[in-house]
Amino acid sequence: MTTGGSPDSFGPYAFTLAPAEAEAAAARVGLRAALRGGLTLSHHAPLAAFALVLLFATILALTGFISRRTGELTFIIAAMAFMIQRLATHWRIWRAREGGRATIGGLESEGTLTTTIDDDGVTQAGAARRIRLDYVDCEDAEDAGGLIYLWPRQGSPIVVPTRALGPEEAARLLTRIKARIGRGRV
């Protein structure tokens, strides 16, 4: 699949994203967008606060500092607040996944995509658009679920299925891209 005689040249690779690949990529893009917004902290901190409020209200009610009825009311209010927060978190995850679907849906509608990797970056061209992502602008590169993702600091990722490459070439390509991204951070 590598063109030219140079061992450092990669592409061009022509492929069409399969529906399952597009769905997996959309889920990954959405998850990454949700986690970027501090989802882990906003997911675990309310649980800890809820548990502490229940513990504190229980201790106060059992020791007689507050009435049993006040302790029960505290439980109900804490449970309502916790469930509202969980609902907001689920809505945020859903919104991020929908954003991922819209991003990847744009790639899917392009038809056959051609990806070329050179010394400075990656170019992906479709029927209606052409995206250029320089390694300096990349945050990370990863291989997940048979797809190679090049994550920019802002914007949508470039996605290349490993089936378009070959197993050994995919690993070599990912290693090279990560090295180039690492050099850009220095």
Host H or E run for residue 15:
strand 10-15
Which residue in 111, 148, 139, 112 sits closest to 28, CA to CA?
148
Instruction: Check residue 153 and give its pLDDT.
Output: 86
Cα separation, 16 vs 108, in Å, equals 7
Instruction: Check residue 2 and give its pLDDT.
Output: 42
CATH class of 10-185: mainly beta
Instruction: Check residue 5 and give its pLDDT.
Output: 43
Instruction: Check residue 8 and give its pLDDT.
Output: 54
> From first to last of its 186 residues, what are the pLDDT tens digits of the chain?
444 445 555 667 788 888 888 888 888 888 888 777 676 677 788 999 999 999 999 999 999 999 999 999 999 999 999 999 999 888 988 888 888 888 787 776 777 888 888 888 888 888 778 888 888 888 888 888 888 888 888 888 888 888 888 767 888 888 888 888 877 655
Instruction: Check residue 67 and give its pLDDT.
Output: 94
**99 and 110 Cβ atoms separated by less than 8 Å:** no
Instruction: Check residue 3 and give its pLDDT.
Output: 45
> Could you tell me whether strands 138-144 and 158-161 are parallel, antiparallel, or unpaired per DSSP bridges?
unpaired
- pTM, entire model: 0.69
Instruction: Check residue 75 and give its pLDDT.
Output: 96
Rounded to the nearest 5°, which phi and psi values hold at 10?
-130, 130
Instruction: Check residue 37 and give its pLDDT.
Output: 66
Give CA angle at 159 (15, 6), nearest 5°. Answer: 70
Cα separation, 182 vs 70, in Å, equals 57
DSSP string for 98-138? HHHHHHHHHHHHT-SEEEEE-SSEEEEE-SS-EEEEEGGGE
Amino acid at 146: G
DSSP three-state, residue 158: strand
Q: Cβ neighbours of residue 166 under 8 Å, at least 6 residues apart?
A: 1
The ranges assigned to domains in the chain are 10-185
Terminal Cα-to-Cα distance of the chain (whole angstroms): 31
Residues in the chain: 186
